[in-house]
Amino acid sequence: MTGGRVRQRTPGPLRKASPLRVAQRLRRARAEDWDFGGGRIFGSLCTEPHPESRRWLLPFLTANLGNPGLCPGTARLSEELLEEFLRLYHGPPTGAGGWWVSGATEANVTALWVFRNLTGGSEVVLPVSAHFSFAKALDLLGLRPRWVPVDGAGRMETEKARDRVSRRTAALVALAGSTELGAVDPIEDLAAIALRAGVPLHVDAAVGGFLLPFLPARTRDRLPFDFRLPGVRSLAVDPHKLGQAPIPSGVLLFRRLAETASVEVASPYLSDPRARGLLGTRFSATVAATYAAVHALGSEGYRREAQRLRRLAGWLVREGRRLGLEPVTDPVLNVVAFHHENPAGIQAWMLQRGWDVSAIERPPGIRFVLMPHAREGLLPRLRDDLAAGLRRFPPPGAAAGR
């Protein structure tokens, strides 16, 4: 569309170009993209893949778990990793399972699909802080949302959630790390509500799934979110975030895999006679790449990175306060958000200086995500550029021209 008019195109063949010309065009395009390795992206929940993960992506490029008989080695890697994840997230010894997905959007849609079919319910109880993938799921599945407000720390209000659960509820949704604030809902209480009401609880742990298990015990035990809680029936995790796997890499786990039978269809012309989930052909090289990242880091590597990111988050909170910014909440994970009445202005200012930061809406503010690509040596420069932006766009309560 140009100027409100539909552009007319002349039919023609696909153009062939020399390898040199193609390479030049691709290099120009890549040069325009942001690069995680530059350490200036603070608005994304994705990151630079681990070097070992990169190394093993290309050799598995043709793997397709949509037809696992043609890639039995990759299928075994998938099963091994799923088993490790089930142990990490306290899956029960029998009956649990899951499969690889492209990310939490597919996982969230699929989980609600499973539970709609299983329960016959027509409503989903979920926090207003839920990721926009749930809006897609509700529309696709014809489900009605029962939105639950959040408290001042961005967590779903338990009593309000209890009031909205009914016989029509297909699923209750909780967040182990909200996208805007990194807030962890009171999942232990919500799991108890779900269990008493006999409704499935789906936990979207895309943000916190690779950080919460590696926090210090005193913090970790205060924030249970996985299958340790009997009411949790499914869990979405994104290795392509803090797991340091390439995009797209996601996992959907179920307490009782048998409950997913309704999303299986016959696939008689493939090596597996039953196909499960949304996707047919799947980009499965990320299974091998995730396997490489997980075993290059191990729990100890993820633990060290979790400690580093929380330390950087603490530094950013202190520096923000010195600049007159008030954090929306004390960060539990690796997300720091500050109140500001003109987040778009700050975001544009930082973009001009080569920084990617986020503007958030609930409440209005500026968000910084500390990911493995964050370079500590660049943080003072980030702070100084932010300080300059705040002189132009003062924080709430500051005198103009500060």
Task: Please provide the DSSP assignment of 361-398 as one string.
Answer: TTTTEEEEE--TT--GGGHHHHHHHHHHHHHHSPPTTP
Which residues 6+ apart lie within 8 Å of 293 measured at CB? 49, 50, 52, 53, 239, 243, 244, 245
- The one-digit pLDDT tens for each residue of the chain (402 residues) are 445 666 788 889 999 999 999 999 999 999 999 999 999 999 999 999 999 999 999 999 999 999 999 999 999 999 999 999 999 999 999 999 999 999 999 999 999 999 999 999 999 999 999 999 999 999 999 999 999 999 999 999 999 999 999 999 999 999 999 999 999 999 999 999 999 999 999 999 999 999 999 999 999 999 999 999 999 999 999 999 999 999 999 999 999 999 999 998 888 877 777 878 898 888 999 999 999 999 999 999 999 999 999 999 999 999 999 999 999 999 999 999 999 999 999 999 999 999 999 999 889 999 999 999 999 999 999 999 999 999 999 886 654 433
Same domain, 267 and 302: no
Report d(CA 281, CA 138) in Å as an integer: 24
Strand partners, 335: 369
Q: In this structure, how many other beta carbons lie within 10 angstroms of the beta carbon of residue 213?
A: 19
Contact 387, 322 (CB under 8 A): no
Q: Which of 251, 252, 274 has the alpha carbon at shortest distance from 261?
A: 274
- Which pLDDT score, from 0 to 100, does residue 269 have? 78
**Last residue of one domain, picked from the residues 260, 293, 326:** 293
Same domain, 281 and 346: no
Q: Is residue 6 part of a domain?
A: no
* Co-location of 282 and 338 in the same domain: no
Question: What's the domain range around 94?
Answer: 51-293
Q: Give the whole-angstrom CA distance, residue 205 versus residue 187.
A: 11
Same structural domain, 302 and 289: no
Q: CB burial class (10 A; 0-12, 13-18, 19+) of residue 370?
A: buried
Tokens (6 digits) for 193 = 């509500």
Q: Cβ distance 164 to 116 under 8 Å?
A: no
- Please tell me whether residues 252 and 316 are part of one structural domain: no
SS3 call for 327: strand
Q: For the chain, what is the domain count?
A: 2
Shared domain for 97 and 243, answered yes or no, is yes
Residues 6+ apart with CB under 8 A from 250: 100, 101, 102, 103, 104, 106, 107, 206, 236, 237, 238, 239, 240
Domain-embedded: residue 7? no
Same-domain check for residues 84 and 97: yes
Judge contact between 378 and 353, C-beta under 8 A: no
Structure tokens at 203: 């936990």
Position 18 in a domain: no
The reported pLDDT for the residue numbered 275 is 77
Q: Where residue 233 sits, what CATH number does that domain have?
A: 3.40.640.10
Domain with residue 321: its CATH number is 3.90.1150.10
DSSP structure class, residue 262 = G
**CA torsion angle 305 50 330 238 (round to 10):** -120
